[in-house]
Amino acid sequence: MSGGELLRLEGLEKHFILSRGLGWSRRRLRAVDNVSFAIPAGQTLGLVGESGCGKSTLGRVLVGLIAPTGGRILLDGQPVSPARSQTERRHIQMVFQDPYASLDPRMTIHEVVAEPLRINGGYTPERVDALLAQVGIAAEAGRRLPAQFSGGQRQRIAIARALALDPRILILDEAVSALDVSIQAQIVNLLRELQRRIGLTYLFISHDLSVVRHISQQVAVMYLGRIVEIGPCAQALDSPAHPYTQALLSAAPDPRRRGRRRIVLAGDLPNPLDPPSGCVFRTRCFKATERCAREVPALAPLPDGRQVACHYAEAVDRTRLAELLVPLTRASQDAGIPITKETHKEDPK
């Protein structure tokens, strides 16, 4: 069940000032650069992009682990102060990527889940047992240490700890990427069931488009600290409009499409200390022109309601993407971006 808008970001920024030592000039790294979006209550926004694009930094700013440089965070229409009060902190909780590192190995599972309750008041053994049962862990397992559990069980325990303070929204930072595929499905189904049952709202940070498609109602695509496309999941992943989103989808594994063509972006992310002028994606984009070097594209609405930051945004149906790659080949080579054809060797058996 979903309701009105719960979380809104307005021009959120996080900059890091770096220097190379005494006497060297200080340089600014824009890890999160003018990010704005909203998440309705009871829904999931999937945040995707390459490693190093700023996804995890954004999650840490939202949960209060690091302070923003600028912009605003609104929860239920009320600004969240940079110096979070204890009450404000409990409304936004986080589940981290590595279940082997996020739990204190010297504490029992009962103590891990009880810790936030003891700090904020309201601890009872029955409350801890109920939280563990909510994520599928037996109460008697609370006497054991994290090392005695599998990765999937540890992530369930981390979710129980995040739920201890009855948060309004969970930040899930690559919460299933360290798990086996079958265990990933179990955790995703658990998250969906919790959302249905208690009305949780999620920001689901991931690089796995198939998982994002399964759990999200909205998708935001991030590149070098900026949102380049955002909209309903079906529109963004079935008919991508930004060239970067098209490249991500063309690179996603699909066993049903053998011998397909795909967009291979040249090089890695640009140096975030010295980003390209204009559009930050232009150095890897097969549509780039001189205008892209001069003007920074703003997030602008398309007729279907999504927003795209591209001067030449064009929604392309996913089934037509492979067909369009053929005429794009010449333009891509002119821009220094190769387009290759995937080949798959058949199993000799």
User: Among 120, 124, 195, 128, which residue's Cα sits nearest to residue 157?
Assistant: 128
Q: Report d(CA 177, CA 207) in Å as an integer.
A: 8
**pLDDT category, 126, cuts 50, 70, 90?**
very high
pTM here is 0.86
pLDDT at 332: 40
**pLDDT category, 340, cuts 50, 70, 90?**
very low
DSSP 254-270: -TTSTT-EEE---SSPP
pLDDT, tens digit (0-9, with 9 covering 90-100), for 69-80: 999 999 999 999
Is residue 330 scored above 70 in pLDDT?
no
Q: Which helix (H) or strand (E) holds 236?
A: helix 233-238
Q: Report d(CA 136, CA 155) in Å as an integer.
A: 11
* Better pLDDT: 35 or 27: 35
Q: Report d(CA 206, CA 47) in Å as an integer.
A: 6
How would you label 222-249 residue by residue, b for 16+ Cβ within 10 Å and e otherwise? bbbbbbbbbbebebbbebbbbbbbbbbb
pLDDT at 250: 80
Is residue 256 scored above 90 in pLDDT?
no
pLDDT, tens digit (0-9, with 9 covering 90-100), for 225-246: 999 999 999 888 888 999 999 8
Instruction: Report whether 328 contacts 251 (CB < 8 A).
Output: no
